[in-house]
Structures are given as structure tokens and as C-alpha cells.
Structure 1
Amino acid sequence: MDGMKVWYQSKTVWGGLIAVAASLLQVTGIQLGADVQADLADLAVTLAGAAGGFFAIYGRIAAQTGIRGK
């Protein structure tokens, strides 16, 4: 595949997880429409990207070794 990405940046993965969650919620009487599920998938991808950036910065700050140029 060209242009690989990590799983948590995939709208397809998040859409699938949200669809499963929506099905489980339906058992309890809570229903999520397709538009709500799509909005949740978009939000999940955005939040996952932000969290990835945060953890990358945190990891660099917390690292025991420094970075040097060429």
C-alpha cells in the first residue's frame, strides 16, 4: 500500500468501532443515527491525531537522551 498510516488515524477503523458501539448501545435502548456515527468517527480521528502529537512531544521531553544534528 502506498501512503500507510497508523490504525488510529483511519476513519474506517473508527467508523467500525463506533458502529459496533452503536449496535451495543441499541441493545440498551439508545440509538445513534448514521449522521451521528459519522460525526463521532471524524471527532475520534481528530482527537487521536491530537493525542499522537501530544505524546510525541511528551516522549521527546521525557527522553533520557538528547537529539543532535548531522
Structure 2
Amino acid sequence: MDGMKAWYQSKTVWGALIAIAASLLQMTGLTIDDATQGEIADLAVTAVGAIGGLLAIYGRIAARTEIGGA
């Protein structure tokens, strides 16, 4: 692998979490098909990326020190 990414940026991790959740839901009588699970995983990765960007912007605005140049 060339680079590293955070666990929450991985579609595989989100897919696994959603598959686990789908299995638990199936025990209650609700079912989620494979295609829907894939769509949920894609949306989760996109949402987490957007939230991360918003938190970075908020962090910079709320910071009490300036960014220094070299």
C-alpha cells in the first residue's frame, strides 16, 4: 500500500460496521439488502469526510494562536 488513511475513511471498515448492524437488525425482523448496505457505506464515508472538513475549519476559526510561516 502506498499511503495510510484513517480507519473512518475506509469503505471496508464502514461496510463491515454496516454489515454487523444489518445482521443485528435482521434479528429484530428488519432486513437491509446488500445494495442498500453499499449505499449506506458510501454515504458514511462521504459524511465523515465532510464533518472532518467542517471540524478543521471550526478548529482554525476557534484557535487562539496564529499560524506561523517559516
Q: Common fold, TM-score beyond 0.5?
A: yes
1:64: how far off?
A: 1.4
User: Which residue in the other structure is 1:62 paired with?
Assistant: 62
Provide the rounded CA distance (Å) in 2 between the counterparts of 1:63 and 1:7: 26
Alignment of 1:1-70 (within 5 A): 1-70=1-70
Read off the aligned partner of 1:8 and give its amino acid letter: Y
Read off the aligned partner of 2:43 and give its amino acid letter: L
State the SS of the aligned residue for 2:37: helix
1:68: how far off?
A: 2.5
Read off the aligned partner of 2:25 and give its amino acid letter: L
1:25: how far off?
A: 0.3
TM-score relative to the length of structure 2: 0.94
Deviations 1:27-58 (A, max 9, x none): 11000000000000000000000001000001
What percent of counterpart residues are identical?
67
TM-score relative to the length of structure 1: 0.94
Aligned residues: 70
Unaligned ranges ≥5, structure 1: none
Ranges of 4+ aligned residues in structure 1 off by more than 6 Å = none
